[in-house]
Amino acid sequence: MRRKLLLVLAYFAVNMAQASPLPDYPFIFQSGTAKMEVAPDLALIEITVSSRGSDAAKALAVVNASVAGIFQAFDKAKLRQSDITSSQISRTLEYAGREKRDTVPLYIVSRNVSVWVRELAAWAPLMSDLAGMKNITELETSFHSSARNTLEAELELKAADDAAAKASRIAKSFGRKIASVMAISEAPFNARERALMTSRDGEFSPPPFIPPAGISSAIRAPANITLQKSLNVLFKLE
């Protein structure tokens, strides 16, 4: 019995050693970051239309009428049909009282619409039109660059150089040198770091939109947005 127990313990010890999360060679882990400011040339508008009432059919009619008004605004701005995305109708029930049987349910009907604006000159007038419409419960814009893929490729190279420079500097202080790259990842290798370091690279979202009291020229797109890339690199030391 004792011999069997020793064999089991030895088996687990070997497997634990093999499953060690740390490399079996001297290494240094470093992250590199690169960013740049670019002028946006695209805008993504995301809209939620909602209506509630005790009559589901009336709530649906209100939503459909509002969505039709939104599409008319899109036509006025001469947006492409291919750049418009519209969701299916969503319907939920809401009860005012604690007991469902004691209250008449309210039907909440909603629909999401999004559109890419490829000419930023059309964005401000369109937002003014949308802001004046009823039953739009959410109205948000994020700004982007059509050259994002090319620019991010440049940023990845700069982020890699940044990680290598940091690692070399630290290794040198200990009398060591970088030998080779063993692993590269955009996501942090450590799951706990991932929760702390998650970011929306290449996207700028302004504060919640507040309709201005003046003319539409008071609404302005940002002059620049920040594109950023981060890489996590595991280097083997000599």
pLDDT, tens digit, 9 for 90 and up, residues 156-173: 999 999 999 999 999 999
Looking at every residue in the chain, the average pLDDT score rounds to 82
Q: Report the pLDDT value the prediction gives residue 12, as an integer from 0 to 100.
A: 43
Q: Which of 120, 144, 168 is the last residue of a domain?
A: 144
Pair (62, 91) in one structural domain = yes
**What is the extent of the structural domain holding 127?**
42-144
Give the pLDDT band of residue 187 (cuts 50, 70, 90).
confident
Q: Could you tell me if residue 16 is inside a domain? A: no
Q: Report the pLDDT value the prediction gives residue 195, as an integer from 0 to 100.
A: 39
Q: Which of 123, 144, 165 is the last residue of a domain?
A: 144
Number of domains in the chain: 2
Give the pLDDT band of residue 98 (cuts 50, 70, 90).
low
> Average pLDDT of 17-38?
81
Is-contact 199 49, C-beta < 8 A? Answer: no
Pair (100, 132) in one structural domain = yes
Between 199 and 65, the more confident residue is 65
Pair (32, 58) in one structural domain = no
Pair (55, 138) in one structural domain = yes
Kind and range of the H or E element at 42?
strand 42-53
Q: Could you tell me if residue 215 is inside a domain? A: no
Between 104 and 167, the more confident residue is 167
Is-contact 236 27, C-beta < 8 A? Answer: yes
Q: Could you tell me if residue 194 is inside a domain? A: yes
Give the pLDDT band of residue 94 (cuts 50, 70, 90).
confident
Pair (64, 34) in one structural domain = no
Lowest mean pLDDT, pick from 10-14, 207-211, 231-235: 10-14
CATH number for the domain spanning 159: value is 3.30.110.170
Task: Pick left, alpha or beta for residue 124 (phi over 0 → left; psi -120 to 50 → alpha; otherwise beta).
Answer: alpha
Quote the CA–CA distance of 43 and 79 in Å, as a whole number.
12
pTM of the predicted protein model: 0.70
Pair (95, 125) in one structural domain = yes
> Average pLDDT of 120-148?
94
Quote the CA–CA distance of 205 and 135 in Å, as a whole number.
22
Pair (135, 152) in one structural domain = no
Q: Could you tell me if residue 168 is inside a domain? A: yes
Pair (99, 166) in one structural domain = no
Q: Could you tell me if residue 128 is inside a domain? A: yes
Q: Report the pLDDT value the prediction gives residue 197, as an integer from 0 to 100.
A: 36
Q: Report the pLDDT value the prediction gives residue 3, as an integer from 0 to 100.
A: 46
CATH number for the domain spanning 109: value is 3.30.70.2970
Q: Could you tell me if residue 183 is inside a domain? A: yes
Pair (151, 230) in one structural domain = yes
Q: Could you tell me if residue 68 is inside a domain? A: yes
Q: Measure Cα distances from 229 to 42, 132, 142, 152, 189 in Å.
A: 20, 38, 18, 7, 16
- Does pLDDT of 219 surpass 70? yes
